[in-house]
Structure 1
């Protein structure tokens, strides 16, 4: 995903291509629920082996809302209170779990803040953490459903992604044009914005897809 790519890029030279960045997708790496026991064994072995090779490894798990519950339990030893697991100090490792769960609730909080004339910067993390946690706990299809990782509070922080407004999407377009080595032509920027779907229907405030489709839309309007 775009988020995974950005995180890897800023944390490791080479981004997702770094040998110390390990990116997992349910659709690609864990597609069949009937193979769950094999996935558990393979994932535990992979994490353990790569932590032994590099204690500062980054493990990215995308689309947690599409991952079958139970698989993540093999990570408990690496996220628990012990400093050393299987002879390796894992505290330097980074585990990041990305999910769309709670998105509707986050959007509602952002919308209510806007209607109350509160800046999005005024929305506190403490307002959103319990909302996200509850959304995960209420979703039996989420990878963290009834997970010891959540129940034992082993996640250091929940980072909500607020919905993007029109000016945020504009920045994405300008940044993408710069990455392509192109001049920031206003007609292209405006065309991308005009083709982007915003919600709610009345206010047209937030981008339905964030900046996910910006690159492809730019190519269409060049």
Structure 2
């Protein structure tokens, strides 16, 4: 790009010089200025950079429209999560200079979509999606599980600070947070406040996502009780679930007596409700739509729905809820609809 610009500038310069407009000295100065101004952008045409906006050199899009589309088409049975992310995370992504980082705790049983949501956030924020180098994922059972409190605390602070220093528009995902040594998350409490910078690192544009199973049973039991009492699933409100989760977390798990709660540093508590068969079927339909052969259905929605129901029937249920959520959909889809390997190539 710089070379093409240089050659273009040289050609224009030659024409102007022939007509006596300026001499070679001015051309040299103009060329140097052009290269100096554009040179810093060159790597960003090819390699991911911490650049916000749209266009070829911008890799951080903060695309709220894409976030809403992904939530609508790829997240099933989670009306509270959809509402919180649409309003609260959406507002954060649109704010060029937020006062503090966005901090969300997502709790629920296996297969309800905790990691799925973090992937959707990554896809909406980064051009590279889940492959972005600006995503830091810390797993409670990896490295941290065997550490004592002090060592875990120091490592957590170091990992997060070093990562956000590279790009303040980072996404920090802490998975299996309940497996961390008790009190570890308090180490990053200063990073979650309205601080301009800590040791030269600005965290205000960073998104922190805590994934946990701590309140999973409480969420499942509460949901079941409400449905048995005759309430519609979609009538379960944000505030009642937030109070339930917050109380549960403060008395047990990774946020037991944590300053993150007492100092109101978490912006949202998202409950991942247990999934019913209709939601599992939606997951199965989405899985089939991603396959080129579509299980012999082509683009026929009726056929896809029928085959998705067959897949959903292969899932184990406890009462009205799936034991594994949508976690086994891929393997069950391979059982019900073996891949046509030739059409998949």
**1:117 corresponds to 2:230:** yes
Residue 207 of structure 1 corresponds to 322
Offset at residue 119 of structure 1 (A):
2.1
Which of 210, 214, 217 in structure 2 is aligned with 1:97? Answer: 210
Q: 1 CA distance for matches of 2:249 and 2:292?
A: 41
- Does structure 1 conserve the Cα–Cα contact (< 8 Å) formed by 2:140 and 2:179? yes
Residue 218 of structure 1 corresponds to 333
- Superposition pairs for residues 131-142 of structure 1, below 5 Å? 131-139=244-252, 142=253
Residues 167/95 of structure 1: CA separation in 2 closer, same or farther (3 Å cut): same
- Does structure 1 conserve the Cα–Cα contact (< 8 Å) formed by 2:168 and 2:202? yes
Aligned residues: 215
Residue 83 of structure 1 aligns to a residue whose secondary structure is: coil
Offset at residue 127 of structure 1 (A):
0.6
Offset at residue 114 of structure 1 (A):
2.0
Moved more, 145-154 or 37-46: 37-46
Instruction: Could you list the structure 1 runs, at least 4 aligned residues long, displaced by more than 6 angstroms after superposition.
Output: none
TM-score by length of 1: 0.87
Deviations 1:120-153 (A, max 9, x none): 22111111112111221232xx222222112222
**1:68 corresponds to 2:181:** yes
TM-score by length of 2: 0.58
**1:179 corresponds to 2:290:** yes
Residue 196 of structure 1 aligns to a residue whose secondary structure is: coil
Offset at residue 187 of structure 1 (A):
5.7
**1:84 corresponds to 2:203:** no
Question: Which residues of structure 2 form unaligned runs of 5+?
Answer: 1-114, 298-303, 338-345
Which of 135, 139, 146 in structure 2 is aligned with 1:32? Answer: 146
- Does structure 1 conserve the Cα–Cα contact (< 8 Å) formed by 2:152 and 2:181? no
Q: 2 CA distance for matches of 1:163 and 1:182?
A: 30
Residues 186/50 of structure 1: CA separation in 2 closer, same or farther (3 Å cut): closer
Q: 2 CA distance for matches of 1:50 and 1:116?
A: 47
Q: 2 CA distance for matches of 1:116 and 1:127?
A: 16
Residue 123 of structure 2 corresponds to 9
Offset at residue 32 of structure 1 (A):
0.7
Residue 155 of structure 1 corresponds to 266
Moved more, 3-12 or 130-139: 3-12
Q: 2 CA distance for matches of 1:67 and 1:161?
A: 21
| Superposition CA RMSD, Å | 2.0
Larger radius of gyration, structure 1 or 2?
A: 2
Deviations 1:155-184 (A, max 9, x none): 011011111111111110010111122325
Which of 136, 142, 145 in structure 1 is aligned with 2:256? Answer: 145
